[in-house]
Amino acid sequence: MSKNISALSGRKGMAENLFELLGRSAETTGSADPAEMTRLAEAFLIGSANVYGASSFYDFTRPENKGKQVYVCNGSACLTAGTQDAVKQALGAHFEEHEIGEMCCLGRCHENKAFFYKDHNYSGDALEAVAAIKSDKKVISDQYHTASYGTPVLMRPFPGIETYYQTLQKALAQTPEAILQELTVAGLRGRGGAGFPIAFKLESCKNSPGAPKFIVCNADEGDPGAYSDRYLLEQQPHSVLLGMIIAGYVTGAQMGVLYVRGEYPEVFPILETALQALRDRNLIGSNILGTNFAFDFKVIRAQGAYICGEETALLNSIEGQRPEVRVRPPYPTQQGLFNLPTVVNNVETLACIPFILEHGGSAFAAIGAGRSTGTKLVSLDGHFKRPGIYEVDMGTSLSLVFNELGGGFRHSIKAMHIGGPLGGLVPVHKIADLNIAFESFASQGFLLGHASVVCIPTDFPMIEYLEHLFQFTAHESCGKCFPCRLGSTRGYELLHKARNSDYKIDPELLNDLLETMETGSLCALGGGLPLPIKNALLYFQEELKVFFS
């Protein structure tokens, strides 16, 4: 059935997109209009139940969102900072209780106190200006540290469009096979968590029959604690756009889709301005730079769902379907968006491509350590003395990143959750054993992932943090597979009951639950959650033993 819906949704192509139309129908009231949903179902020849099933899934279109005016960040970084009760109290003086909702995460992890109002994010000292923000629509921007240690690949100063896009002219003078060879030599691996070689994806899509083909940028950066994609889209958008154009040339795709999370509202006008500048210079569209190569973009505003960071759920979302994870094979490079060959990569991965084309694959491979080539962006949260985004060569020691770049911790920390909610929970004594590389983290039983860092203060109860992780997974699960949908809920119930009563958890029961989730889940949401839980049980056994039988 879902393949049929993909085909029906794809009849109108990207010009008239079902998912976008559902989002627009919710803009005024905060919830999709039932009459409009019926009209869209008829227009796209899709059942009303399918359209309702999709719209009722997202945070920004579901019926429970109706009437919400302002949203409080409930991400892990804001949770461990302990700032959000004060945010709710301050907002409560200006809004009715039913007008206050929640979002996760707003990418303001460097200063916390984060909230969203009227298509803008606020954090830090902005909480003192709620009245002015509400009455005058005053916009207060945030600031955070950025620095490069080693070779600047992503933090190079932007030289201007004419100079920067000479790399595109260089690319179009080569064959797709030659560019693929450079990317293979570079060893560029996905920066979104899985670390999968991009050259393999591009070649698979290139060789798959079917047209048109798509390059999809997964800019749904949902890992609490991560805001490196936000940095690239707001401050280095052309590295992402050029990377997508080159990927399109290699694969034979003529359309790039930027799926950007709605929790990053400031990104959209920046992308619009950047794309218009390219269009004015014939760098996108038809007959680019006098060649027969054509490539254009579609920017889609996501509607609030962490699971859309999983590539197949993201594709279902673009098609206007409920964003459930697809069973693979077939893989997206063979049968992706609208059942057509599609490459899905995250923001940081695509942004590395221009450097490789400009300097050569060998130059990129010379940066880093082993199979972890190039550089990595690291997000440091507000528990550091100098929080921000730092670009470091792969292989850089974690202690250097934390103590020299981040300035050390502002107060006593017992653990860092690195790589998002599905990443490893690293005790502080392990800092000296790790460096920024996929292999280093894996060898120690952790996961580098997005390289986001959420600190857990010494006085923050570990049981509360683990309960939060289960609750987050239960809320964000697409519901397609039982191990994730039921396991996350049962895990949350176990920990919540133990934390709030004299109930004791049976260790064997919890271990069985974790094993079931790890081995039986369709994707990394349910399959990855056991990692930080197991890390906590291993390294914080003394603190947690009071909750177990």
Cα distance between residue 395 and residue 435, in whole Å: 5
Cα distance between residue 402 and residue 416, in whole Å: 11
pLDDT, tens digit, 9 for 90 and up, residues 293-335: 999 999 999 999 999 999 999 999 999 999 999 999 999 999 9
CA distances in angstroms from 466 to 1, 74, 172, 417, 459, listed in the order given? 37, 15, 50, 11, 14
Instruction: Please identify which residue in the block is written with the tokens 């009951």.
Output: 497
pLDDT, tens digit, 9 for 90 and up, residues 104-129: 999 999 999 999 999 999 999 999 99
Q: By three-state DSSP, how is residue 273 classified? A: helix
Same fold, 2-65 and 462-547: no
Q: Does domain 146-365 have CATH number 3.40.1800.10?
A: no
pLDDT of residue 5: 85
User: What is the distance between the terminal CA atoms of the chain, rounded to a whole angstrom?
Assistant: 47
> What's the whole-number mean pLDDT along residues 423-444?
97
Is residue 8 scored above 90 in pLDDT? no
pLDDT of residue 286: 96
> What's the whole-number mean pLDDT along residues 77-103?
96
1 falls in which pLDDT band (50, 70, 90)?
A: very low
Fold (topology level) of 462-547: de novo design (two linked rop proteins) (1.20.1440)
pLDDT, tens digit, 9 for 90 and up, residues 38-75: 999 999 999 999 999 999 999 999 999 899 999 999 99
Cα distance between residue 69 and residue 118, in whole Å: 8
pLDDT, tens digit, 9 for 90 and up, residues 188-202: 999 987 788 999 999
Cα distance between residue 255 and residue 17, in whole Å: 14
* Summary mean pLDDT of the chain: 95
In percent, the amount of the chain with pLDDT more than 70 equals: 99
2 falls in which pLDDT band (50, 70, 90)?
A: low
- Report which of 536, 22, 2, 13 is spatially closest to residue 313, judged by C-alpha positions: 2
Cα distance between residue 2 and residue 342, in whole Å: 17
Is residue 237 scored above 90 in pLDDT? yes
Q: How would you write 7-42 as a 3-class SS string?
A: HHHHCCCCCCCHHHHHHHHCCCCCCCCHHHHHHHHH
Helical packing angle, 18-25 and 34-43, nearest 10°:
160
Instruction: Look at the alpha carbons of 179, 183, 186, 191 in this order and tell me if their dihedral is positive or negative.
Output: positive
Task: Domain 2-65: give its CATH code.
Answer: 1.10.10
Q: By three-state DSSP, how is residue 289 classified? A: helix
pLDDT, tens digit, 9 for 90 and up, residues 245-301: 999 999 999 999 999 999 999 999 999 999 999 999 999 999 999 999 999 999 999
Residue 241 is encoded by which pair of tokens?
A: 């756009």
Q: At CA 466, angle to CA 54 and CA 126, rounded to 5?
A: 70
CATH architecture of 374-454: Roll (3.10)
Instruction: Please identify which residue in the block is written with the tokens 């490196």.
Output: 228
Q: How many CB atoms lie within 10 A of CB 102?
A: 17
136 falls in which pLDDT band (50, 70, 90)?
A: confident
Where in the chain are the domains? 2-65, 70-143, 146-365, 374-454, 462-547
pLDDT of residue 88: 97
Q: At CA 82, angle to CA 79 and CA 88, rounded to 5?
A: 85
Is residue 165 scored above 80 in pLDDT? yes
Is residue 521 scored above 90 in pLDDT? yes
pLDDT, tens digit, 9 for 90 and up, residues 345-383: 999 999 999 999 999 999 999 999 899 999 999 999 999
Asked if residue 402 lies in contact with residue 431, where contact means CB atoms within 8 angstroms, the answer is: yes
